[in-house]
Every structure is written in structure tokens, then in C-alpha cells.
Amino acid sequence: MTTGRCPTCGQPLPKGVSLPELRKRIDAVQRQAISKALTLQTQQLRREIESELQEKMRAQARRDIQPAISRAKLEGRREREEELRRSQRELKEAQRRIALQDSRTKELEGTVKKLGRQINEASPQRIGSVSQDELRRLIETSCLGDQIMPVPAGRRGADIVQQVCENGDTCGKILWEVKDTTSWSETWIPKAKGDGQRVGADYICIVTTSFPKGSDGLARRNGVIIIAPIYAACLAPVLRDAIVELHHARLSGQQRASKAGMILEYVTSAESKASFGVIADSVDELRKIQANERNYHDEHWRKEEGLVGKIAAAGSAIRTRLATIARDTPVSLAVRA
């Protein structure tokens, strides 16, 4: 009996192997090969689809984030620039205020020191002339707008006549007499009153370091105010404001004189003297505070400049990184990630 042949190669079939069985085995092998090939093709196609999808997603993400990056860069730069400008404006304003305060404080300190050095250094006439100039400056500083008229040395009259002016009106006058000697003299009072009457002064003040027995710092003698130099700059604006108020009140001559007497009594009272003492002590304390404040601000400005530099450096680093992200290709971004 003749055996069959292999349908693939044409060779005779081995003994015991029938043609149907061989065909069955060949079909099984072919199905297995086809299944494996399909699996490999499916896996390759899936990888290609996933890669393409990821690329599309990255491209879309870049398109979506670019406007946000641009807006963030613009807004961040504007905010930093505005914050920096605001800090610079505040710093300049603080420096201006401190410089102005320092200038005023130094001027007053210089005046007080000069008054102290001039005591007992020369003749009464020379000392009075110098003290008169210093007092004039103190009054000019504390009573802006008034006419301060010094009387030259040797001419009859008081040392200084302060003409109180308000909105173009002459409201009244204050007469100042400087007596910088080592002892008090009762003859000062009638002489000062006579000078005050000649110029029509509302108030008459003797500035001196020598006081009648039992008095010190601030006193009143027969309608004349006797005051120490340290309080003169405080008294001048007080009397000035009182004269302006009386002027605006439009009182009769008798009423004005009565009110002026009441003001004079208060100004030279123990209560007023205590207030002047508080002012003088506070001025000394203020000078100490201002000195400490100057030292603090010097150190503060140094620290602030350092912080501004750090802010600028950090902002520059952020801007550089964002610009790099915006310019880089997707491959570069993937490598860095």
C-alpha cells in the first residue's frame, strides 16, 4: 500500500503518519505562528499609538502653558518693579524726613550750646549782644511769619521786638529783653516796662539766667515775664498764639487788657512752669531718641539694600529659568525631567 506525501515538501510521509493528521499538525503550527505574529504587531501598534498620543499631549501642554508662562512673567515683572519702586519711594521719603529733622535738631542744639559757652565769657554788653542774636533765631524758628526786629547794641530800647502777623494782619507785639549777667537787678523791670509802653507791646519778657530771690526758671514781676533761655523758644509761640486769638476775638480795649492779664497770670503760674519743664525734659529725651533712631535707620538701610539685592537676584533666576523652559525643545525638557 502506497503512503501519502507531505503537501508542503512532497516527501513521502513517515510510517504511521496519515495525511489528515499531518494536515492537522500543520494547521496548528500555522495558527500558532499567525497568533504570535498578530500579538507582536498588536504590541508594536500599541506602542506607536501611545508614543504618538504622548507627543500630542506634550505638544498640547506646551501650547496651553506658554500663555500662562508669558502672563506669569509679565505680571511677576510688573509686581516686582512696582514693589521696588514703592520701596524706593518710601526709603527716599523716610530719608528726607530724617534729614529735615536732623537739620532742625542740630540747629537748636547748636544754639543751646552757644548760649552755654557764652555765659560769663565776656562783658555783659558783649554777651547780651550775642545772646540777642541767638534768641532772635530761636524766635524766628518757632514763630514763622512774624517780623523779628532786633535793636542794635547801644540804641535805646529793648533787644528784640516781635511783631505778630497772621494772614497779613498785625495782631500785636512782644518785647524781648536779654540780660545775661551773674546777678539780678530790680532796675530791669521799670526799664523793660518803659520800653514796652513805647512800642505798644502786649507782653514784655526778660530772658536771663539770673532771677529774683525765691524764683527760678519762670516768674512774673510787675507785669513783666522773667524766663530762662531754655524756655524762651517754648514761650514765644505760646504768647504769639494768645495774641492772635485776642486779635480775632475783636474785644474792646478793656476786655483785651483783662484777657491779656489772665493769660499772663496763667503763663507764669506753677502749672505753666511745670509744663515748660516737661517740654524741656522731653526735648532732651527726644534728642536721645533721634540719635538712636538715626543709628537704627543707618543699619536698617544697609539691611534693606542687601534684601533688595537678594530679591533682584532671585527674580532674575526665576526669569532666566522660565525663559529657558520657553525656548527649550520637547526632547531637552524630557531629558531634564
Q: What is the mean pLDDT of each run of 10 residues along the chain (337 residues)?
A: 64 72 77 81 83 80 72 74 79 74 66 56 41 85 88 74 90 90 89 91 91 86 89 86 86 78 80 73 74 76 73 70 61 47
C-alpha grid cell for residue 138?
530761636
Give the HSE-up count for residue 283: Cα atoms under 13 Å, Cβ half-sphere: 15
User: Is the whole-model pTM more than 0.85?
Assistant: no
In SS3 terms, the chain reads as CCCCECCCCCCECCCCCCHHHHHHHHHHHHHHHHHHHHHHHHHHHHHHHHHHHHHHHHHHHHHHHHHHHHHHHHHHHHHHHHHHHHHHHHHHHHHHHHHHHHHHHHHHHHHHHHHHHHCCCCCHHHHHHHHHHHHHHHHHHHCCCCEEEECCCCCCCCCEEEEEEECCEEEEEEEEEEECCCCCCCCHHHHHHHHHHHHCCCEEEEEECCCCCCCCCEEEECCEEEECHHHHHHHHHHHHHHHHHHHHHCCCHHHHHHHHHHHHHHHCCHHHHHHHHHHHHHHHHHHHHHHHHHHHHHHHHHHHHHHHHHHHHHHHHHHHHHHHHHHCCHHHHHHHC
Task: Determine the Cα–Cα distance for residues 257 and 238; give it in Å rounded to an integer.
Answer: 17
- What are the extents of the domains in the chain? 123-268
What is the per-residue pLDDT for 125? 40
Torsion of CA 258, 261, 266, 270, to 10 degrees: -140
At the top level of CATH, which class does the domain 123-268 belong to?
alpha beta
What is the per-residue pLDDT for 215? 82
